[in-house]
Amino acid sequence: MSKKIIILSIFITASILISGCIFDKNNGTKGNETINSKIIPTINLPSGFTYMAVHETNIDNRNFSHIAIEGVYRTDQGEDIYVQVFETEKPQELLDEYKAQYKDEGYNPFTDIYFNGHKATKIVSYFTSEGRSVPKYSIIWTINNSMIRVGSSTDAQKVINLATATNN
């Protein structure tokens, strides 16, 4: 009888340990991904956008390098546009660091805009295509403990439309 109790105890213990190993309280995501991915729209997208994926990535731009949760979207013209959410305890400092990349541009790349009840910054940068200078637009803002960046695209209205879809 004692062997049966021992074997039964082993089975019960094993099943508890196995269920603990299988169960993932974060549903397969890394901690801040579940929080930040709520900002990234996946449904009710503006016309002309298709949601492709969300993932964690490292964003490197000039002197700016940070980890973000990134939503990837494709426009009906085949252009990829991103929603990037950077979680930080000091979002305004991160926004200032991001803006500092543009200090030597020789023009003011920033324009204040308003949507979803808050202020954001539209950024225009330029690249050369077929010998022409072409503008590319992004939008950045802070909310709670995050800095959000949407862009970039040669169509400013597409960036604004996707930024508005974040509802933040």
Instruction: Work out the pLDDT band at 167, boundaries 50, 70, 90.
Output: confident
pLDDT top residue among 97 and 122? 122
Q: What would the mean pLDDT of 75-87 be, rounded to a whole number?
A: 94
Mind listing the pLDDT tens digit for each residue in 130-146?
999 999 999 999 999 99
Helices (H), the chain: 2-22, 31-36, 91-99, 156-165
**Model pLDDT, residue 41:** 92
- CA 101, CA 132: separation in Å to the nearest integer? 23
**Model pLDDT, residue 6:** 58
Q: Could you tell me the pTM of the whole model?
A: 0.75
59-63, 76-80, 123-127: least confidently modelled range: 59-63
Which residues are CB-neighbours of 51 under 8 A, at least 6 positions away? 41, 42, 43, 45, 71, 72, 73
